[in-house]
Amino acid sequence: MNGFLELAIALFGGFVLGLFYFYSLWITVRQLPVTAYPIPLTLGSFIARLAITLLGFYLLMNGHWQRGLIALIGFTIARTILTSIKGKILTNPH
């Protein structure tokens, strides 16, 4: 496979993993005030998010640290975008 294509897939995969991780975190935090069991919710969500994200990074890297670095950049881009979007929603709910 072409080296550029591999890095583009890693970037997109990292972005998708970031969207999954941080959106799931946002959903978990929103559920905390209404749940009867906040500790199991927090721990279960953390373990599930972490396991899925680490498995995704492992598969994306495929033994190449460069792919892991590019995937981490995509992950960070997703975090920045979601923080910006959700921050605006939280500060201006109307």
Q: Which residue has the tokens 């998708």?
A: 16
Show the low-confidence residues of the chain (pLDDT under 50). Answer: 94
What does the pLDDT read at residue 49?
A: 97
Whether 48 and 20 have beta carbons less than 8 Å apart is answered as no
User: pTM to 2 decimals?
Assistant: 0.86
Q: How many other C-beta atoms are found inside a 10 Å radius of the C-beta of residue 46? A: 13
User: Token pair 């749940």 is at which residue?
Assistant: 35
Question: What pLDDT shows up at residue 1?
Answer: 61
In this structure, is the dihedral angle defined by the CA atoms of residues 62, 2, 71 and 48, taken in order, positive or negative? negative
Residue 18: per-residue pLDDT: 96
Domain ranges of the chain: 3-91
The predicted pLDDT at position 78 comes to 95
